[in-house]
Amino acid sequence: MSDQQDTPVTMSAADAAALDHLATDGFDPAIAGELEGDMKRRGEAASSLLSLLDQYPADDLSDEDQQTLVDATMARIRRAEDDRRDRMRMDNHPVMMGRGLRFRIAEALAVAAVLAMATATIWSFGTTARDRAMSAGARSNLGELHAGLSAFQDSSGDTPLKDADASVEQLLSGGPAKMIDLQIVAAQDFCDPRCMRNPRRPGAGRGGFSFAVLAEGHEPHLAHGQVILAGDRNPALAGLIAGKDYESSMEDIRWHPRLVERPSVLYSDGHTEDLSAAHVGGDRIWGVEPEEGPAPIELFLAH
């Protein structure tokens, strides 16, 4: 008789090609829609499956919750050990068999509960570590962009700016507006072009960052230390351009709340930070608020 061996699960060549195409473009769901025929169906199915990872809740446990989890786990282990010792002391009297069966069921439930809690804890810690690594990667790329911007300014004597899109101009002031142009900084090799990628949002277009848009003539204010030059993609932008108010625009987003409420940003003095909320000094970083904010300038992050 021949030995049976497990057959490893393999992916078809067509599925692998579709997944490789999505991976090349940062698993952007829009890329799947650009494929054709059978490749399009496979790409959309892969993109839909991968999107479940972003929807899985992974809030950090507080110190109190972590201690409660440890105490409950140890209590379960002690109870399981006590039940095991009681069962070993029982004789073979038929009357005891029913009680013994109950002990075995209780022990199995206790072990299952311990395994479930341990799995949840490991998953939580793993997800937290993954989130922190991606945030660190985003801040590192933003820091490299600032280094490239400084090198560009030293070389040319100018801050790289370009005309903002007309729809964004209307949101900011209704008049001429300029936009920080870090794409040209990367294109001219003042920094690695790969720094334009945002690990926190690999599927958000070709870059994943938003850049400061400011009213024409406000360029001198860019040197203020509280001015944010770049950051995570603006989730409210599409809704605002479509004429919706800020609250409605934010309700329509499908990104995980932790990516919206704790954005990674780059300040004009070169330091990067994960904000504790989507505002600085009461000024929303995703919306346009002409009122006086934390810096003497109204900025708007767009892409």
The residues spanned by each domain of the chain are 13-51, 63-127, 133-302
What pLDDT does residue 199 have? 85
Burial class (CB in 10 A: 0-12, 13-18, 19+), 155: exposed
What's the CA gap between 202 and 29, in Å, rounded? 10
Mean of per-residue pLDDT scores for the chain: 75
Assigned token pair, 199? 């690990």
Residue-wise pLDDT for 77-124, tens only, equals 888 888 877 766 654 444 444 444 554 565 666 677 767 776 666 555
Assigned token pair, 172? 């900011």
Buried b (16+ CB within 10 A) or exposed e, 123-143: ebeebeeebeebbeebbebbb
Neighbours of 297 (CB within 10 A): 19
Do 33 and 44 form a contact (C-beta atoms < 8 A)? yes
Assigned token pair, 41? 């169906």
What's the CA gap between 132 and 217, in Å, rounded? 38
Three-class secondary structure of residue 283 per DSSP: strand
What pLDDT does residue 97 have? 45
Do 126 and 186 form a contact (C-beta atoms < 8 A)? no
What pLDDT does residue 151 have? 92
More confident residue, 31 or 84: 84
Residue-wise pLDDT for 240-269, tens only, equals 888 888 888 888 777 667 667 788 899 989
